[in-house]
Structure 1
Amino acid sequence: MSKTLLLLAEGFEMYEASVFVDVLGWNLIDGDGTSQLATCALRKTIRSTFDVPVTVDVTVDELNLDEYDALAIPGGFIEYNFYSDAYDERFLEVIRQFHANGKIIASICVAALPLGKSGILRGKNATTYNKKDGIRQKTLAEFGVNVLNQPIVIDGNIITSWNPSTAMDVAFELLKRLTSEKQMNMMKEIMGF
């Protein structure tokens, strides 16, 4: 049984979080039954982009990182204070610990930026949000990252992607890495992809 930690920052994008919940949840119920997911944030209740309140399973202060096999992080909007949590040292330390233990880290859109700020992407290939004159890609490059203008970039155990259009593909890639390509393809078929 694998367990993924869905790490949420204030102002996270609901759609980008939901793909991990759905893909891993479908695999738990209709697949091989091996994928669990828990939500986590700096506080018990946070607000997503567009002000939807969410109560998480566990706070960062309550975490036992040894329980988890993978980390998933959705992006979010600056207008909803995403970076206040995403750049918080406690949030960054969770990222560093997963990386130090060689665990899978999957991010969508601007969630690559806290990965960059944490230092785990220095000298690695990655991508992030690619619209609005590439401002987020420039920010990622400032963290010492080799930014590729591609939809999804995988470097070792780290998956980054450039915008919400890649969200389902990132979630399926995470499932593949937790199970197998055969299992991922089976779940795509069952889910109608």
Structure 2
Amino acid sequence: MAEKRVLLFLGEGFEDLEAVSILSVCGWTEYRSHLEKVKVETTGLHREVHGRFGLRFAIDHLIDEVDPQDYAALVVPGGFHSHGFDEAYCQPLRDLAKTIHRQGGIIATMCVGILPIAESGLLEGGEATSYAFSRSHDNLGRLRELGCKSTSGPIVVWNRIISCSGPAYSVDVASLLLASLVGMDEAKEIALFMAGTSV
């Protein structure tokens, strides 16, 4: 059974829980041999990136080394602009998102991770959500400026693009992504394993 590959973009100052949720949920596909495997690989602009709350990642592939044809999905966690996340608004990430989406891939974002995707033009005429409590940024207003209908709802799925309002929903986003990649039945089975109970 061929594994699915997911590309996780990590900008400097990324939100730690949002990154880890993707790694953990997809990692649980390794739990039983009958499950379809989903492998997560990281990309970014530096060989090492730092999460806002202390995580450090050695990046698998710099963004200019990535072949988008290799991936079924792109994940963009949010981050803190005060800690370097502005770098996520770069042309290489916008181009990568457009290519992966154009070839039928899924884009999953959390919090402000939706904004670089909106800047790529992929959400024009669509719908998404983002973090509403930023002290210096009107994230929902920015979505509207970019031609997207913004909502204050917790999770929005539109045209294979997933967005959520904050890190509290990151496991839900990861689970939605997993269901899109391997099917609802397998995603439910993995959720059961992760819950650790049959009740």
Give the TM-score band, short-chain normalised.
over 0.9
1:135-176 Cα shifts (integer Å, max 9, x gaps): 211112111111122111001211111111110000000000
Residue of structure 1 in register with 2:122 after alignment: 120
User: Is residue 5 of structure 2 the alignment partner of residue 15 of structure 1?
Assistant: no
User: Is residue 147 of structure 2 the alignment partner of residue 172 of structure 1?
Assistant: no
Residue of structure 2 in register with 1:46 after alignment: 49
Unaligned runs of 5+ in 2: none
One-letter code of the match for 2:187?
M
Rounded to whole Å, the distance in 2 between the matches of 1:55 and 1:132 is 28
One-letter code of the match for 1:61?
D
User: Is residue 156 of structure 2 the alignment partner of residue 153 of structure 1?
Assistant: yes
Residue of structure 2 in register with 1:26 after alignment: 28
Secondary structure of the corresponding residue to residue 99 of structure 1: helix
**Larger proportion of helix:** 1
Normalized against structure 2, the TM-score is what?
0.91
**Residue 102 (structure 1) shift:** 2.1
Secondary structure of the corresponding residue to residue 106 of structure 1: strand
Q: How does 1:79-90 map to 2 (within 5 A)?
A: 79-83=82-86, 85-90=87-92
Residue of structure 1 in register with 2:195 after alignment: 192
125-134 or 153-162, larger mean C-alpha shift:
125-134
Change in Cα spacing, 1:22 to 1:112, as seen in structure 2 (3 Å) is same
Residue of structure 2 in register with 1:74 after alignment: 77
Residue of structure 2 in register with 1:110 after alignment: 112
Contact 2:36/2:182 (8 A) holds in 1? no
Contact 1:50/1:80 (8 A) holds in 2? no
**Residue 51 (structure 1) shift:** 4.9
One-letter code of the match for 1:13?
E
130-139 or 164-173, larger mean C-alpha shift:
130-139
Aligned length: 192
Rounded to whole Å, the distance in 1 between the matches of 2:119 and 2:141 is 13
Rounded to whole Å, the distance in 2 between the matches of 1:179 and 1:150 is 26
1:94-133 Cα shifts (integer Å, max 9, x gaps): 1111122121010011001101111111110111112248
Rounded to whole Å, the distance in 2 between the matches of 1:129 and 1:146 is 14
Normalized against structure 1, the TM-score is what?
0.94
One-letter code of the match for 2:110?
I
Moved over 6 A (4+): none
Unaligned runs of 5+ in 1: none
90-99 or 146-155, larger mean C-alpha shift:
90-99
Rounded to whole Å, the distance in 2 between the matches of 1:3 and 1:93 is 18
